[in-house]
Amino acid sequence: MNELASIIPDPNALLALEPEELGAKMLFLLRARDQPFSPHNCVMEVRNSVGPSQGLPGYPRERRSEIILAISEAFAWLGAQGLIVPDPGSTGGWMALSRRARRFETEKDFRQFELARSLNRDLLHPAIAEEVWLSFVRGRFAAAVFEAMRAVEIAVREAAGFPKGDHGIPMIRRAFHKDNGPLRDPEQEEAEREALMHFFAGAVGSYKNPHSHRNVTMEDASEAIEIVMLASHLLRIVDARRPAQNEGQADEA
């Protein structure tokens, strides 16, 4: 792992990196080697390097213990993420890059992977937690957005008691219509009821409908996370309206 000294020559800069940040640098260096590797041997390369005292890339001897610990932490992180795995053809601690790691072409791909994993499944509404989270960790951001907003559309239709054939923005507007929508809150001000109708219709129209009718590219994980969290919020609003809808039906009966 002497290559690190060529791309991060300043030991203070290296030690300032978090394990995932240093792991990203190391992953692409290991990919360039294109062969199984031993984390122990990689560490020993740094420990035994000649270093700057002889005009060669390397770290000062008095800083190597700290640097080796940081490298070991980065290896541990890569293993925990399933990015390095035991080499199937070797014994004695030799490792190889996983299939997922080999798909990363650039550090931007790696950052998107990290960001996708930052989506906390526990914060998502149960209706979308499993399917949407899996799409995220697979890097299918456009699919995750579509699945989340489709779940909102379905939840609105079911909560409003509309037939299965109903869909799209007209159905959303009927469900939350300020005067007679089954999911409206009659205790709210009229302007607030109307705003919520537009809010739901705008969200579904902006983020679900385009994905229904054509291929939409979405490569920004952070944008996708924001949209999915919006869908989760909308689903919780629908949940809150279900009891009111059921009570209204009971009163009519």
Q: Convert the pLDDT of each residue in 170-201 to its tens digit.
A: 999 999 999 999 999 989 999 999 999 999 99
> What's the DSSP call for residue 123?
G
Q: What amino acid is encoded at 68 in this protein?
A: I
Q: What is the mean pLDDT of the chain?
A: 86
4-104 fold? Arc Repressor Mutant, subunit A (1.10.10)
- Residue closest to 126 by CA, chosen among 232, 226, 242, 208: 232
Give the pair of three-digit tokens for residue 165. Answer: 């054939």
Q: Convert the pLDDT of each residue in 145-165 to its tens digit.
A: 999 999 999 999 999 999 988
- Residue closest to 207 by CA, chosen among 132, 108, 112, 109: 132
User: 209-240 burial by CB neighbour count: b if 16+ within 10 A, else e?
Assistant: bebeeeeeebeebeebbebbbbbbebbebbee
What pLDDT sits at residue 250? Answer: 45
Where along the chain do its domains lie? 4-104, 116-252
> What pTM value is reported for the model?
0.63
What pLDDT sits at residue 253? Answer: 43
End-to-end Cα separation, the chain, in angstroms: 75
Q: Pick out the chain residues at pLDDT < 50.
A: 214, 250, 252-253
Give the pair of three-digit tokens for residue 247. Answer: 């009570």
Sequence-distant (≥ 6) Cβ neighbours of residue 235 within 8 angstroms: 125, 127, 128, 151, 152, 155
